[in-house]
Every structure is written in C-alpha cells, then in structure tokens.
Chains A and B, each alone.
Chain A
Amino acid sequence: MERVPILKIGPTLFVSIQIDLQDQSVVQLQEDLAEELVATRATGVIIDITAVEIVDSFIGRMLATIGSISRLFDAETVLVGMRPAVAITLVELGLSLDGVRTALDADQGLRMLNGHS
C-alpha cells in the first residue's frame, strides 16, 4: 500500500496527494495526520490536491473528515490546488466542504494560514 507523506514546514503540515487514493491509504493518511498533529503541535494543515484528477463522494467526504480531525487539534485545514473539473464534480455531488478552507495554490494557502495565526 502506498502511503502519503506528511511534511512539516514551520507550524504547518503539508500533505501532497500524488497517488490514486485507495480507501485503505485514505484511512492510513487520516491516522498518520492525527499522530503528526499531536507530535508536532502544528497549527495548520495544507492538503495539496493538484495531482488529483478524479474524485468521488468517498474522497470528498475524506477531505471533509480531515478538516474535522484537524480542528479537534486546533489546526486549520486549507485545501489547495483543486482542478476546475474536480470542483464541478464535487458541487454536482452536493459536497460543498463547508468545514474546509480552500486556496488556489500552496502559496496562497500558506499565506492564508500565516495571516490567520
């Protein structure tokens, strides 16, 4: 099973998803992220989905869940790099990802977190 690496940049955890997400790797990512959040006491999480071309309701929900998990550790989640096609799919699926903030790219995402803290 492929694992998604979690990088620590200052007070922020950076997760770049560059593989085809399987259910198992998603669950693993959620566990890893929770552990990292506790270990590093990070205040922000950036999830980069530039490489994600296909989403389904499962992945949509997974993104929302990650947002909820992070909030439990007082960390804010910013979803960056969503493709237009992915956004349209999520909207059509009725998933608006209310608990998650979004930014156009990683740069703006970082700025958003820094401005917040």
Chain B
Amino acid sequence: MLDVAFSASVKTVKRHIGLSLVDINSGQGRMADFLRENEAKLLDRWSEIVFAAARGRASADEVRAELADLYGLVVRAVSGADELAMGELRAALATLSRSRARSGFSPSETALAVFSLKDTVYEFVADTAAMVPEYLAFARTVDDLGLSTFETYAAAREEIIKQQAEAMLELSTPVVQLWDRIIAVPLVGTLDSARTQLVMEKMLEALVANGATHAVIDITGVATVDTEVAQHLLKTVMAARLLGAQCIICGIRPQIAHTIVSLGIEFGDITTKATLAGALEHALRGSGLKVGPA
C-alpha cells in the first residue's frame, strides 16, 4: 500500500517538475525578444550598477565593453536557438571571474556583476504582469550563471594561493656561499616536511656544486623548534654528512635553547654555535685556515 502511494506521489512530483520545465522553456523565447528589444536601456542600467560596485577599479568604458559582450551571449543563450551560446557564455564568465580574482575583487563583488542583471531586468519588467513567469525562468538561469562564476572565482583564487605558496617556498630557501668550500643556509619561517625536503635538496646540490666541506645552518629565523623540527634538522645534517660535509647549526635563540633543553632534544655530536660569526670561524678553522688580527 505504502509503496503504491509513494510511487504515485513520485509520479506527481515528476509531472510537476516536467510541467514547470516546459513553462520555463516556453517563456524564454519571449524573454529573449524582450532582452533584444531593450538592449541599450538594459545594458546602460546594468553597466551603471556594476560600475558603481567596482568602486573605481575598472573604468566605465571597460565595464560597459565587458558587459556588452556578456549581454550578447546571454541573449543568444536565453533564446535557446544557439546550442553553443551557453558554453561560450560560461567560458566568458569564467574568464571574467578569473581576471576579477586576480585584480583583487571580492567573491560577492564578482558574483554581483552577474546577479545585478536580474535586478536590471526586474526594474523593466516589474510593471508588466505577463512577463513575471518569463522573468522567474530568466532569474533561474542567471542564478545558475552566478553560481558558476562563484565557483570559477574560488578555483582561480585557490590557484593564486598555490602559486604564491610555491613562490614563497622558493624564496625562503636561499643557499649562500660564505667562503671557498663553506656554504650557509639561513632558514626563515617554519620547518615542515615539505620545506625540509626542499632545504635538504637545495643544500646538498649547493654542496656538490661548490665542492663545499662545511655547511652552516642558521636558524635565527625559525620561529619555533619542537621535536619534529629538530628531527628535520637532524635529517638534513645527516644527509650533508653522507656527502662528506660537516654541518654547523647556529643562531639558536635563548628561548628556543630553553625549549630544546626542556623537550630533551639531543643534537648529538653536531656542532652548534651561538652566532653565524662563530660558526664561520669554526668552519674556517675546520678548513685549515687561521682567523686572527691582521
């Protein structure tokens, strides 16, 4: 009994959805005509709203040109005659939202550019009751487009963040030559596994390239040292040792020294020096050079 009732209700729902879809599709033709007829007026109003929201980050002409392209595509897509139009429209919106993401617009500002088309059209159809179903269908299409703009915006933002993180990673691991056969690796920021890997690779490559026998690891810029960071440092030192180079760790700040001792971290037989100068002196001595007054 229950099954029958359920399947019957499902059918009703289906019929209902089917009906509303038909309604929407039939309404779109008239909406397309409406959009085509009032193009100049609608476009003016739309540009006005979007330009106001841009707050000087884009010129009125730019906004107008951008929206004119979109408007043409929207009309083509809404009329339903052109199958490719919807795809082109989405692509154009994707380009728009990507460029907005890069020039620092907020997500809502970006989506507003699309959603404001609804407001614009509403202002013109509000008086004509006959256009309301068409308007609703049109609003739904615009909502869809707005959402996809939003998604592209988020994806573009994420991409930017990823690029920046990579750039920062590259920037934050310089290897400098202090002396013949002595290199230094000033570490800044936090040491996680990914960074350690990068630091290790860069340092070992520099060791080989310079034929270095000593590597000074300066951790003045490392914010915190816990057991994990210490483990990473030890690994780096170990790898350098396998290449035949000696590592000297320097720049341990007083608070960090305290933490290291409290945590019971052992640096074993790794040489540690208070300052970079001390480390350099140790490395120079280790290379058989004498440091002293001239």
A binds B: yes
Pair B213/A91 contact, Cβ less than 8 Å = no
A43 contacts the other chain (Cβ, under 8 Å)? no
Pair B241/A88 contact, Cβ less than 8 Å = no
A82 contacts the other chain (Cβ, under 8 Å)? yes
Pair B244/A104 contact, Cβ less than 8 Å = yes
B207 contacts the other chain (Cβ, under 8 Å)? yes
Residues of chain B within 8 A (CB-CB) of A96 are: 238, 241-242
Pair B241/A102 contact, Cβ less than 8 Å = yes
| CB proximity of B110 to chain A, nearest CB, Å | 43
B-contact 0/1 string along A25-52, CB 8 Å cutoff:
0000000000000000000000000000
B33 contacts the other chain (Cβ, under 8 Å)? no
| CB proximity of A45 to chain B, nearest CB, Å | 15
A-contact 0/1 string along B237-265, CB 8 Å cutoff:
01111111100000000000000000000
B184 contacts the other chain (Cβ, under 8 Å)? no
Q: With A82-B243, A87-B243, A109-B244 as given contacts, are A104 and B238 in contact (CB-CB < 8 Å)?
A: no
Query: How far apart sit A92 and B236, CA to CA, in the bound complex (Å)?
Result: 10
Q: With A84-B208, A104-B213 as given contacts, are A91 and B244 in contact (CB-CB < 8 Å)?
A: no
Contact of B204 among A84, A97, A103 (CB under 8 A): A84
Query: How far apart sit A78 and B244, CA to CA, in the bound complex (Å)?
Result: 9
Q: Which chain B residues in 208-232 approach chain A with CB under 8 Å?
A: 208, 211-213
Q: With A102-B244, A103-B244 as given contacts, are A84 and B238 in contact (CB-CB < 8 Å)?
A: no
A13 contacts the other chain (Cβ, under 8 Å)? no
Pair A84/B213 contact, Cβ less than 8 Å = no
19 new A-B contacts at CB < 8 Å, known A83-B208, A104-B207, A108-B244 = A80-B244, A82-B244, A84-B204, A86-B242, A87-B204, A87-B240, A88-B239, A90-B242, A91-B200, A91-B238, A91-B239, A96-B238, A97-B242, A102-B242, A102-B243, A104-B208, A104-B243, A104-B244, A109-B244
Number of chain A residues close to chain B: CB under 8 A: 21
Pair B201/A88 contact, Cβ less than 8 Å = yes
B-contact 0/1 string along A58-70, CB 8 Å cutoff:
0000000000000
Q: Which chain A residues in 70-113 approach chain B with CB under 8 Å?
A: 78-80, 82-84, 86-88, 90-92, 96-97, 101-105, 108-109
Residues of A participating in the B interface, judged by any CB pair closer than 8 Å: 78-80, 82-84, 86-88, 90-92, 96-97, 101-105, 108-109
Query: How far apart sit A28 and B197, CA to CA, in the bound complex (Å)?
Result: 35
Query: How far apart sit A84 and B243, CA to CA, in the bound complex (Å)?
Result: 7
B205 contacts the other chain (Cβ, under 8 Å)? yes
Query: How far apart sit A105 and B242, CA to CA, in the bound complex (Å)?
Result: 12
Residues of chain B within 8 A (CB-CB) of A87 are: 204, 239-240, 242-243
Contact of A104 among B200, B201, B211, B235 (CB under 8 A): B211
Query: How far apart sit A97 and B211, CA to CA, in the bound complex (Å)?
Result: 21
Query: How far apart sit A113 and B111, CA to CA, in the bound complex (Å)?
Result: 71
Residues of chain B within 8 A (CB-CB) of A102 are: 241-244
Residues of chain B within 8 A (CB-CB) of A105 are: 211
Query: How far apart sit A82 and B239, CA to CA, in the bound complex (Å)?
Result: 10
| CB proximity of B209 to chain A, nearest CB, Å | 10
